[in-house]
Amino acid sequence: MHSIGLTSSEREFRGVARQWSRTAIAVLGLVAGVAFAPLVMARSPIGVPVSVAVSDLPPQAQATYRSILNGGPFPFPKDGIVFGNYERQLPGHVRGYYHEYTVKTPRSRNRGARRIVCGGAPPAPPEVCYYTDDHYASFRRIEP
């Protein structure tokens, strides 16, 4: 829209209307973000935990989970190391609460992206375990 031939009050009104439009778009964006937050958070246990049954895990994850419950053996030297939760995808706890274990990935030459992260004080059975297949980007709580 051109402002040629408009009075100063008409130009001022258009300026205010543009500002209100920007504000309305920002508010709608926030409302949409809140409305769709559960869909986004569904990939993470923060706020809205998504769970997975042990029987629904890949066979390699089921085997790793059984090893965790039995206290080993573990095929990778890094299994059982402290998981720092730097991505803050899991509920907050003191450092040392979470420990990670590798889930074998078929045809992978390295540890791959799949892990089970358990919380608690080893060697006691874990209080809670989470599965990730995307290298800590999302987690699902393992339900026995």
Strand 128-132 relative to strand 115-119: parallel, antiparallel, unpaired? antiparallel
Q: Map residue 59 onto helix, strand or coil.
A: helix
Distance (Å, rounded) from C-alpha 127 to C-alpha 124? 9
Pairwise CA distance, residues 36 & 32, whole Å: 6
**Could you confirm whether 135 is annotated as catalytic?**
yes
Tell me the two tokens of residue 64.
């790793």
* Spatial separation of the C-alpha atoms in residues 130 and 118, rounded to whole Å: 6
Task: Round to whole Å and give the CA distance between 26 and 20.
Answer: 10
Of 12, 93, 127, 135, which is the active-site residue? 135
What is the residue whose two structure tokens read 């042990």? 54
Cα-based angle 49, 57, 73 (whole degrees, multiple of 5): 110
Q: Is 2 a catalytic residue?
A: no
Question: Which are the catalytic amino acids?
Answer: 100, 135
